[in-house]
Protein backbone atom coordinates (compact mmCIF):
# COMPACT_ATOMS: atom_id res chain seq x y z
CA UNK A 1 0.00 0.00 0.00
CA UNK A 2 1.35 3.42 -1.01
CA UNK A 3 0.99 6.09 1.67
CA UNK A 4 1.71 9.81 1.89
CA UNK A 5 2.28 11.61 5.16
CA UNK A 6 1.55 15.19 6.24
CA UNK A 7 2.42 15.33 9.93
CA UNK A 8 2.96 19.06 10.56
CA UNK A 9 6.13 18.35 12.61
CA UNK A 10 4.23 16.36 15.23
CA UNK A 11 6.38 14.69 17.94
CA UNK A 12 5.20 11.28 16.73
CA UNK A 13 6.23 11.83 13.09
CA UNK A 14 9.51 9.93 13.37
CA UNK A 15 7.83 6.95 15.01
CA UNK A 16 5.21 6.78 12.26
CA UNK A 17 7.84 6.98 9.51
CA UNK A 18 9.76 4.09 11.10
CA UNK A 19 6.58 2.03 11.32
CA UNK A 20 5.81 2.66 7.66
CA UNK A 21 9.33 1.71 6.57
CA UNK A 22 9.59 -1.40 8.75
CA UNK A 23 10.13 -4.59 6.66
CA UNK A 24 6.91 -6.52 6.25
CA UNK A 25 4.68 -3.54 7.14
CA UNK A 26 2.91 -3.77 3.78
CA UNK A 27 3.22 0.00 3.35
CA UNK A 28 5.42 2.23 1.21
CA UNK A 29 5.91 5.89 2.14
CA UNK A 30 5.85 7.71 -1.20
CA UNK A 31 6.06 11.30 0.07
CA UNK A 32 6.29 13.42 3.20
CA UNK A 33 4.22 16.54 2.52
CA UNK A 34 4.71 19.88 4.22
CA UNK A 35 1.11 21.12 3.94
CA UNK A 36 -2.38 20.21 2.75
CA UNK A 37 -1.81 21.69 -0.71
CA UNK A 38 1.09 19.32 -1.37
CA UNK A 39 -0.90 16.40 0.05
CA UNK A 40 -3.86 17.08 -2.25
CA UNK A 41 -1.59 17.55 -5.27
CA UNK A 42 0.25 14.29 -4.54
CA UNK A 43 -3.03 12.42 -4.15
CA UNK A 44 -4.33 13.87 -7.42
CA UNK A 45 -1.31 12.45 -9.22
CA UNK A 46 -2.40 8.95 -8.22
CA UNK A 47 0.67 8.13 -6.14
CA UNK A 48 -1.03 7.13 -2.89
CA UNK A 49 -3.90 4.94 -1.71
CA UNK A 50 -3.99 6.52 1.75
CA UNK A 51 -3.00 9.86 3.26
CA UNK A 52 -1.88 10.10 6.88
CA UNK A 53 -2.77 13.58 8.13
CA UNK A 54 -2.12 15.21 11.47
CA UNK A 55 -5.33 16.36 13.14
CA UNK A 56 -3.61 19.69 13.78
CA UNK A 57 -2.46 20.21 10.19
CA UNK A 58 -3.05 23.82 9.16
CA UNK A 59 -5.81 24.12 6.57
CA UNK A 60 -7.29 20.66 7.19
CA UNK A 61 -11.03 20.95 6.63
CA UNK A 62 -13.98 19.24 4.97
CA UNK A 63 -12.94 20.41 1.51
CA UNK A 64 -9.47 18.88 1.82
CA UNK A 65 -10.92 15.55 2.96
CA UNK A 66 -13.37 15.60 0.06
CA UNK A 67 -10.64 16.29 -2.51
CA UNK A 68 -8.54 13.41 -1.23
CA UNK A 69 -11.48 11.05 -1.57
CA UNK A 70 -12.18 12.34 -5.09
CA UNK A 71 -8.58 11.49 -5.98
CA UNK A 72 -9.06 7.91 -4.75
CA UNK A 73 -6.95 8.45 -1.61
CA UNK A 74 -8.40 7.46 1.75
CA UNK A 75 -7.72 10.23 4.32
CA UNK A 76 -6.65 8.87 7.71
CA UNK A 77 -6.37 11.48 10.46
CA UNK A 78 -3.75 10.75 13.11
CA UNK A 79 -4.38 11.92 16.69
CA UNK A 80 -3.01 11.47 20.15
CA UNK A 81 -4.58 8.39 21.78
CA UNK A 82 -5.87 10.47 24.71
CA UNK A 83 -7.27 13.35 22.63
CA UNK A 84 -10.90 12.25 22.38
CA UNK A 85 -12.20 15.75 21.68
CA UNK A 86 -9.99 16.22 18.61
CA UNK A 87 -10.95 12.78 17.32
CA UNK A 88 -14.63 13.70 17.57
CA UNK A 89 -14.02 17.00 15.79
CA UNK A 90 -12.31 15.49 12.76
CA UNK A 91 -15.00 12.83 12.60
CA UNK A 92 -17.64 15.55 12.29
CA UNK A 93 -15.53 17.09 9.51
CA UNK A 94 -16.18 13.94 7.50
CA UNK A 95 -13.19 11.74 8.22
CA UNK A 96 -14.30 8.13 8.46
CA UNK A 97 -10.81 6.96 9.55
CA UNK A 98 -9.35 8.38 12.77
CA UNK A 99 -6.30 6.52 14.09
CA UNK A 100 -3.97 6.86 17.06
CA UNK A 101 -0.35 7.26 15.98
CA UNK A 102 0.52 4.23 18.10
CA UNK A 103 -1.78 2.05 15.95
CA UNK A 104 -0.34 2.97 12.54
CA UNK A 105 0.57 -0.70 11.95
CA UNK A 106 -3.17 -1.36 11.54
CA UNK A 107 -3.37 1.05 8.61
CA UNK A 108 -3.44 -1.49 5.71
CA UNK A 109 -6.29 -3.45 7.26
CA UNK A 110 -8.18 -0.27 8.20
CA UNK A 111 -7.97 1.28 4.74
CA UNK A 112 -8.81 -1.97 2.95
CA UNK A 113 -11.90 -2.45 5.12
CA UNK A 114 -12.93 1.14 4.47
CA UNK A 115 -12.58 0.80 0.70
CA UNK A 116 -14.60 -2.42 0.67
CA UNK A 117 -17.29 -0.82 2.83
CA UNK A 118 -17.57 2.13 0.44
CA UNK A 119 -17.92 -0.15 -2.57
CA UNK A 120 -20.79 -1.99 -0.87
CA UNK A 121 -22.76 1.20 -0.17
CA UNK A 122 -25.86 1.95 -2.26
CA UNK A 123 -25.70 5.06 -4.48
CA UNK A 124 -25.86 8.39 -2.62
CA UNK A 125 -26.08 6.64 0.77
CA UNK A 126 -24.60 8.25 3.84
CA UNK A 127 -22.85 6.71 6.87
CA UNK A 128 -23.58 7.92 10.38
CA UNK A 129 -20.64 8.24 12.73
CA UNK A 130 -20.66 7.76 16.48
CA UNK A 131 -21.23 11.49 16.81
CA UNK A 132 -24.54 11.22 14.91
CA UNK A 133 -23.02 13.04 11.92
CA UNK A 134 -23.23 11.37 8.55
CA UNK A 135 -20.43 10.99 6.08
CA UNK A 136 -21.59 8.18 3.89
CA UNK A 137 -24.35 5.72 5.31
CA UNK A 138 -27.86 6.32 6.59
CA UNK A 139 -28.06 6.13 10.34
CA UNK A 140 -30.85 4.87 12.53
CA UNK A 141 -32.55 8.24 12.92
CA UNK A 142 -34.68 9.14 9.88
CA UNK A 143 -33.43 11.93 7.66
CA UNK A 144 -35.68 14.57 6.12
CA UNK A 145 -36.34 14.76 2.40
CA UNK A 146 -33.92 16.90 0.38
CA UNK A 147 -35.51 18.78 -2.53
CA UNK A 148 -33.22 20.83 -4.79
CA UNK A 149 -34.78 23.58 -6.92
CA UNK A 150 -32.70 24.26 -10.01
CA UNK A 151 -33.22 26.03 -13.31
CA UNK A 152 -31.18 27.24 -16.29
CA UNK A 153 -29.98 30.79 -16.89
CA UNK A 154 -32.55 33.48 -17.59
CA UNK A 155 -34.39 33.85 -14.26
CA UNK A 156 -37.03 31.13 -14.80
CA UNK A 157 -38.35 31.58 -11.25
CA UNK A 158 -36.16 29.23 -9.19
CA UNK A 159 -36.33 31.29 -6.01
CA UNK A 160 -40.07 31.93 -6.35
CA UNK A 161 -40.69 28.19 -6.65
CA UNK A 162 -38.29 27.34 -3.81
CA UNK A 163 -39.87 29.82 -1.40
CA UNK A 164 -43.39 28.89 -2.46
CA UNK A 165 -42.72 25.16 -2.15
CA UNK A 166 -41.18 25.53 1.31
CA UNK A 167 -44.08 27.69 2.46
CA UNK A 168 -46.61 25.18 1.12
CA UNK A 169 -44.92 22.35 3.03
CA UNK A 170 -44.81 24.43 6.21
CA UNK A 171 -48.50 25.30 5.86
CA UNK A 172 -49.21 21.55 6.08
CA UNK A 173 -47.38 21.48 9.43
CA UNK A 174 -44.23 19.83 8.12
CA UNK A 175 -41.02 21.12 9.78
CA UNK A 176 -39.41 22.76 6.76
CA UNK A 177 -36.00 24.36 6.23
CA UNK A 178 -35.37 26.60 3.21
CA UNK A 179 -31.69 26.98 2.28
CA UNK A 180 -30.39 29.65 -0.07
CA UNK A 181 -27.33 28.02 -1.69
CA UNK A 182 -27.15 30.11 -4.86
CA UNK A 183 -23.45 30.95 -5.31
CA UNK A 184 -24.27 33.63 -7.90
CA UNK A 185 -26.26 35.74 -5.46
CA UNK A 186 -29.24 34.47 -3.52
CA UNK A 187 -32.60 36.21 -3.48
CA UNK A 188 -34.38 34.51 -0.59
CA UNK A 189 -33.46 37.13 2.04
CA UNK A 190 -34.71 39.98 -0.15
CA UNK A 191 -37.91 38.14 -1.06
CA UNK A 192 -38.73 37.56 2.61
CA UNK A 193 -37.61 41.01 3.84
CA UNK A 194 -34.86 39.56 6.01
CA UNK A 195 -31.71 41.47 6.91
CA UNK A 196 -28.71 39.46 5.76
CA UNK A 197 -25.71 41.20 7.29
CA UNK A 198 -24.90 37.87 8.93
CA UNK A 199 -25.16 35.03 6.42
CA UNK A 200 -26.59 31.88 7.94
CA UNK A 201 -25.02 29.58 5.37
CA UNK A 202 -21.55 31.12 5.73
CA UNK A 203 -21.72 30.87 9.51
CA UNK A 204 -22.74 27.22 9.20
CA UNK A 205 -19.96 26.61 6.64
CA UNK A 206 -17.34 27.95 9.05
CA UNK A 207 -18.57 25.54 11.72
CA UNK A 208 -18.60 22.64 9.24
CA UNK A 209 -15.05 23.34 8.10
CA UNK A 210 -13.75 22.97 11.65
CA UNK A 211 -15.89 19.97 12.54
CA UNK A 212 -18.10 21.97 14.92
CA UNK A 213 -21.40 21.68 13.04
CA UNK A 214 -24.17 19.44 14.28
CA UNK A 215 -27.95 19.71 14.53
CA UNK A 216 -27.86 21.94 17.60
CA UNK A 217 -25.21 24.24 16.13
CA UNK A 218 -27.17 24.57 12.90
CA UNK A 219 -30.30 25.51 14.86
CA UNK A 220 -28.48 28.62 16.09
CA UNK A 221 -27.86 29.79 12.49
CA UNK A 222 -31.35 29.46 11.00
CA UNK A 223 -34.00 32.18 11.00
CA UNK A 224 -37.53 31.34 12.06
CA UNK A 225 -40.44 32.56 9.94
CA UNK A 226 -43.20 30.64 11.63
CA UNK A 227 -43.85 27.56 13.74
CA UNK A 228 -42.97 25.24 10.85
CA UNK A 229 -40.79 27.28 8.48
CA UNK A 230 -37.10 28.11 8.98
CA UNK A 231 -34.61 29.76 6.63
CA UNK A 232 -30.84 29.51 6.28
CA UNK A 233 -29.94 32.77 4.55
CA UNK A 234 -27.53 32.81 1.60
CA UNK A 235 -24.47 34.73 0.49
CA UNK A 236 -24.73 38.45 1.22
CA UNK A 237 -22.59 39.13 -1.88
CA UNK A 238 -21.85 36.93 -4.86
CA UNK A 239 -18.08 37.45 -4.52
CA UNK A 240 -18.07 35.48 -1.26
CA UNK A 241 -18.71 32.18 -3.03
CA UNK A 242 -15.19 30.79 -2.25
CA UNK A 243 -16.28 30.50 1.40
CA UNK A 244 -19.00 27.99 0.49
CA UNK A 245 -17.06 24.84 -0.42
CA UNK A 246 -18.79 21.58 -1.43
CA UNK A 247 -17.45 19.67 1.58
CA UNK A 248 -18.85 22.18 4.05
CA UNK A 249 -22.20 22.36 2.26
CA UNK A 250 -22.44 18.56 2.33
CA UNK A 251 -22.20 18.66 6.13
CA UNK A 252 -24.77 21.48 6.26
CA UNK A 253 -27.22 19.48 4.15
CA UNK A 254 -26.94 16.45 6.38
CA UNK A 255 -27.41 18.43 9.57
CA UNK A 256 -30.39 20.12 7.89
CA UNK A 257 -31.99 16.77 7.15
CA UNK A 258 -31.65 15.91 10.82
CA UNK A 259 -33.33 19.19 11.73
CA UNK A 260 -36.32 19.26 9.35
CA UNK A 261 -38.67 16.83 7.65
CA UNK A 262 -38.37 18.72 4.35
CA UNK A 263 -35.27 20.62 3.22
CA UNK A 264 -35.70 22.84 0.15
CA UNK A 265 -32.50 24.16 -1.43
CA UNK A 266 -32.47 27.08 -3.87
CA UNK A 267 -29.50 26.27 -6.15
CA UNK A 268 -27.41 28.27 -8.59
CA UNK A 269 -28.01 27.87 -12.32
CA UNK A 270 -24.54 26.95 -13.61
CA UNK A 271 -23.41 23.33 -13.89
CA UNK A 272 -20.04 23.86 -15.55
CA UNK A 273 -16.82 22.76 -13.85
CA UNK A 274 -14.39 24.57 -16.15
CA UNK A 275 -12.38 25.86 -13.20
CA UNK A 276 -10.85 22.39 -12.82
CA UNK A 277 -9.35 22.76 -16.30
CA UNK A 278 -8.14 26.32 -15.69
CA UNK A 279 -6.49 25.97 -12.28
CA UNK A 280 -4.59 23.42 -10.24
CA UNK A 281 -6.32 20.68 -8.30
CA UNK A 282 -6.66 22.80 -5.15
CA UNK A 283 -8.57 25.59 -6.89
CA UNK A 284 -11.97 26.51 -5.42
CA UNK A 285 -14.90 25.33 -7.49
CA UNK A 286 -17.66 27.89 -7.70
CA UNK A 287 -20.22 25.46 -9.09
CA UNK A 288 -19.11 22.56 -6.91
CA UNK A 289 -21.68 23.46 -4.25
CA UNK A 290 -24.48 23.31 -6.82
CA UNK A 291 -23.45 20.02 -8.39
CA UNK A 292 -22.90 18.39 -5.00
CA UNK A 293 -26.41 19.44 -3.88
CA UNK A 294 -27.95 18.04 -7.06
CA UNK A 295 -26.12 14.75 -6.61
CA UNK A 296 -27.32 14.35 -3.01
CA UNK A 297 -30.90 15.50 -3.49
CA UNK A 298 -33.77 13.04 -3.28
CA UNK A 299 -35.41 14.92 -6.13
CA UNK A 300 -34.44 17.89 -8.29
CA UNK A 301 -37.11 20.25 -9.56
CA UNK A 302 -35.92 21.65 -12.91
CA UNK A 303 -37.76 24.94 -13.35
CA UNK A 304 -38.18 26.65 -16.72
CA UNK A 305 -40.44 29.36 -18.07
CA UNK A 306 -43.14 28.50 -20.59
CA UNK A 307 -41.98 30.79 -23.41
CA UNK A 308 -39.97 29.47 -26.42
CA UNK A 309 -36.59 30.66 -25.11
CA UNK A 310 -37.33 29.35 -21.64
CA UNK A 311 -38.33 25.92 -22.92
CA UNK A 312 -35.21 25.73 -25.09
CA UNK A 313 -32.99 26.49 -22.12
CA UNK A 314 -34.94 24.07 -19.95
CA UNK A 315 -34.62 21.20 -22.43
CA UNK A 316 -30.88 21.69 -22.77
CA UNK A 317 -30.49 22.15 -19.04
CA UNK A 318 -32.30 18.89 -18.20
CA UNK A 319 -29.90 16.97 -20.44
CA UNK A 320 -26.90 18.62 -18.73
CA UNK A 321 -28.46 17.94 -15.35
CA UNK A 322 -28.68 14.23 -16.08
CA UNK A 323 -24.98 14.18 -16.87
CA UNK A 324 -24.11 15.94 -13.61
CA UNK A 325 -26.43 13.90 -11.36
CA UNK A 326 -27.32 10.69 -13.24
CA UNK A 327 -28.67 8.90 -10.15
CA UNK A 328 -30.97 11.71 -8.99
CA UNK A 329 -34.66 11.88 -9.87
CA UNK A 330 -35.42 14.94 -11.98
CA UNK A 331 -38.92 16.45 -12.17
CA UNK A 332 -39.68 19.21 -14.67
CA UNK A 333 -41.73 22.22 -13.58
CA UNK A 334 -43.04 24.65 -16.20
CA UNK A 335 -43.40 28.13 -14.75
CA UNK A 336 -45.22 31.26 -15.93
CA UNK A 337 -47.78 29.46 -18.07
CA UNK A 338 -50.08 32.02 -19.72
CA UNK A 339 -52.76 32.07 -22.38
CA UNK A 340 -51.05 34.78 -24.44
CA UNK A 341 -48.48 32.24 -25.62
CA UNK A 342 -51.17 30.35 -27.50
CA UNK A 343 -49.85 27.02 -26.24
CA UNK A 344 -51.78 24.43 -24.31
CA UNK A 345 -50.31 22.15 -21.68
CA UNK A 346 -50.42 19.37 -24.25
CA UNK A 347 -48.29 21.42 -26.65
CA UNK A 348 -45.66 22.16 -24.00
CA UNK A 349 -45.62 18.54 -22.83
CA UNK A 350 -45.08 17.39 -26.42
CA UNK A 351 -42.09 19.72 -26.82
CA UNK A 352 -40.42 18.58 -23.61
CA UNK A 353 -41.20 14.93 -24.26
CA UNK A 354 -39.59 15.18 -27.68
CA UNK A 355 -36.33 16.72 -26.49
CA UNK A 356 -35.97 15.35 -22.94
CA UNK A 357 -38.25 12.32 -22.79
CA UNK A 358 -39.89 13.82 -19.70
CA UNK A 359 -43.40 15.08 -18.97
CA UNK A 360 -43.74 18.04 -16.57
CA UNK A 361 -45.01 17.28 -13.09
CA UNK A 362 -46.47 20.76 -12.67
CA UNK A 363 -47.57 23.81 -14.66
CA UNK A 364 -47.40 26.97 -12.59
CA UNK A 365 -49.54 29.85 -13.87
CA UNK A 366 -48.34 33.38 -14.51
CA UNK A 367 -49.68 35.18 -11.44
CA UNK A 368 -47.91 38.52 -11.35
CA UNK A 369 -50.41 40.10 -9.00
CA UNK A 370 -49.76 37.51 -6.27
CA UNK A 371 -46.00 37.60 -6.85
CA UNK A 372 -45.96 41.41 -6.61
CA UNK A 373 -48.04 41.37 -3.46
CA UNK A 374 -45.69 38.84 -1.90
CA UNK A 375 -42.58 40.81 -2.93
CA UNK A 376 -43.84 44.15 -1.63
CA UNK A 377 -45.01 42.64 1.67
CA UNK A 378 -41.89 40.51 2.08
CA UNK A 379 -44.05 37.50 2.92
CA UNK A 380 -44.77 34.07 1.49
CA UNK A 381 -47.73 33.41 -0.79
CA UNK A 382 -49.73 31.45 1.84
CA UNK A 383 -49.41 34.48 4.13
CA UNK A 384 -50.46 37.26 1.75
CA UNK A 385 -52.25 35.53 -1.17
CA UNK A 386 -53.39 32.09 0.02
CA UNK A 387 -56.14 31.72 -2.59
CA UNK A 388 -54.13 32.90 -5.60
CA UNK A 389 -53.72 30.54 -8.58
CA UNK A 390 -49.96 30.31 -8.04
CA UNK A 391 -50.30 29.51 -4.33
CA UNK A 392 -52.82 26.76 -5.12
CA UNK A 393 -50.54 25.30 -7.83
CA UNK A 394 -47.53 25.34 -5.50
CA UNK A 395 -49.54 23.55 -2.83
CA UNK A 396 -50.36 20.84 -5.37
CA UNK A 397 -46.69 20.62 -6.31
CA UNK A 398 -45.74 20.22 -2.65
CA UNK A 399 -48.25 17.40 -2.34
CA UNK A 400 -46.73 15.75 -5.41
CA UNK A 401 -43.05 15.88 -4.46
CA UNK A 402 -43.24 15.79 -0.65
CA UNK A 403 -46.01 13.22 -0.41
CA UNK A 404 -48.37 15.32 1.68
CA UNK A 405 -52.10 15.69 1.46
CA UNK A 406 -53.57 18.90 0.12
CA UNK A 407 -55.52 19.82 3.24
CA UNK A 408 -57.79 22.84 3.65
CA UNK A 409 -55.75 25.99 4.01
CA UNK A 410 -55.14 27.30 7.50
CA UNK A 411 -54.63 30.80 8.70
CA UNK A 412 -50.94 31.41 9.30
CA UNK A 413 -49.67 32.30 12.75
CA UNK A 414 -47.74 35.56 13.13
CA UNK A 415 -44.40 35.66 11.32
CA UNK A 416 -42.26 35.93 14.42
CA UNK A 417 -43.14 33.43 17.13
CA UNK A 418 -41.63 32.81 20.57
CA UNK A 419 -38.52 30.63 20.60
CA UNK A 420 -40.31 28.13 22.81
CA UNK A 421 -43.02 27.44 20.23
CA UNK A 422 -43.17 23.99 18.65
CA UNK A 423 -41.48 23.27 15.34
Q: Are residues 174 and 319 in the same domain?
A: yes
Better-scored residue on pLDDT, 97 or 204? 204
Q: Which residue has the higher pLDDT, 138 or 246?
A: 246
In the chain, % of residues over pLDDT 90: 56
Whether the predicted pLDDT of 276 surpasses 60: no
pLDDT of residue 261: 95
Last residue of a domain, one of 104, 119, 134: 119
Regarding whether 350 and 244 lie in a shared domain, the answer is: yes
Arithmetic mean of pLDDT, 234-242: 92
What's the mean pLDDT in 166-184?
96
Model pLDDT, residue 138: 37
* Residues 222 and 370 both lie in one domain: yes
416 or 76, higher pLDDT: 76
Q: Clarify whether residues 281 and 397 are in a common domain.
A: yes
**Is residue 15 included in any domain, yes or no?**
yes
414 pLDDT exceeds 70?
no
HEC secondary structure over the chain: CEEEEECCCCCCHHHHHHHHHCCCCCCEEEEECCCHHHHHHHHHCCCCCEEEEECCCCCCCHHHHHHHHHCCCEEEEEECCCCHHHHHHHHHCCCCEEEEHHHHHHHHHHHHHHHHHHHCCCCCCCCECCCCCECCCCCCCCCCEEEEEECCCCCCCHHHHHHHHHHHHHHCCCCEEEEEECCCCCCHHHHCCCCCCCCHHHHHHHHHHCCCCCHHHHHCCCEECCCCEEEECCCCCHHHHHHCCHHHHHHHHHHHHHHCCEEEEEECCCCCCCHHHHCCCCCCCCCHHHHHHHHHCCEEEEEEECCHHHHHHHHHHHHHHHHHCCCCEEEEEEEEECHHHCCCHHHHHHHHHHHHCCCCCEEEECCHHHHHHHHHHCCCHHHHCCCCHHHHHHHHHHHHHHCCCCCCCCCCCCCCCCCCCCC
Model confidence pLDDT, tens digit, residues 208-234: 988 889 899 999 999 999 999 999 999
Does 133 reside within a domain? no
* CATH code for the domain of 268: 3.40.50.300
Average pLDDT over residues 108-130: 55
What is the per-residue pLDDT for 290?
Answer: 96
Same-domain pairing of 57 and 201: no
The band of 408, judged by pLDDT with boundaries at 50, 70 and 90, is very low
Among 24-28, 54-58, 188-192, 332-336, the minimum mean pLDDT is found in 24-28
152 and 264 co-located in one domain = yes
- Per the prediction, the chain carries an average pLDDT of 85
Q: How far is CA 167 from CA 32, 212, 266, in A?
A: 52, 29, 13
pLDDT surpasses 50 at 413? no
Final residue belonging to a domain, choices 67, 85, 119? 119
pLDDT at res. 123: 46
The answer to whether residue 88 scores a pLDDT higher than 90 is: no
Q: Quick one: average pLDDT of 317-331?
A: 95
Residue at 172 is within a domain: yes
- What confidence category does residue 115 fall into, taking pLDDT thresholds of 50, 70 and 90? low
26 found inside a domain: yes
Q: What's the structural domain count of the chain?
A: 2
The domain containing residue 97 runs over which residues?
A: 2-119
Q: Does any domain span residue 410? A: no
If asked whether residues 285 and 383 sit together in one domain, one would say yes
Higher pLDDT, 141 or 350: 350
Query: Would residue 124 count as lying in a domain?
Result: no
Same domain, 149 and 115: no
- pLDDT per position as a tens digit, 333-386: 999 999 999 999 999 999 999 999 999 999 999 999 999 999 999 999 999 999
- Tell whether the model's pLDDT for residue 279 goes beyond 60: no
- Checking if the pLDDT of 287 tops 90, the result is yes
pLDDT of 132 > 60? The answer is: no
pLDDT at position 25 = 80
Among 40-54, 208-222, 341-355, 391-405, which range has the highest average pLDDT? 341-355
Does some domain include residue 169? yes
Task: Find the range with the poorest average confidence among 7-16, 286-295, 373-382.
Answer: 7-16
Residues 175 and 64 in one domain: no
Looking at the fold, whether 331 and 379 belong to one and the same domain comes out as yes
180 & 320 share domain: yes
Q: Do 192 and 341 belong together in one domain?
A: yes
The answer to the question of residue 138 being in a domain is no
Rounded to two decimals, what is the model's pTM? 0.77
Residue 318 has pLDDT above 80, yes or no: yes
Provide the percentage of residues in the chain whose pLDDT is more than 70: 84
**What CATH number did the domain enclosing 95 receive?**
3.40.50.2300
Binned at pLDDT 50, 70 and 90, residue 275 comes out as low
Confidence of residue 418 (pLDDT cuts 50, 70, 90): very low
Give pLDDT, residue 282: 54
The pLDDT value given to residue 412: 44
Amino acid sequence: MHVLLAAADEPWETSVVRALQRPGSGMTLVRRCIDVAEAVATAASGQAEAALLSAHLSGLDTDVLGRLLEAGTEPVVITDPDDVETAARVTRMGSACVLSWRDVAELPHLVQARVEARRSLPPRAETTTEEGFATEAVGESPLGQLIAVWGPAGAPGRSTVAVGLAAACAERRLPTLLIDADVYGGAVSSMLAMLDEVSGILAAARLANTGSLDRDALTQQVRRLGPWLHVLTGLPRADRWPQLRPGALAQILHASRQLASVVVVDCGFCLELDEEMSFDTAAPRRNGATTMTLERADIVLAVGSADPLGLTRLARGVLDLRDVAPDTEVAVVVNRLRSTLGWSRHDIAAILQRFTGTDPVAYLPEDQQAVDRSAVAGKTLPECAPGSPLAVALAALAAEVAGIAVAPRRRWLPRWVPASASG
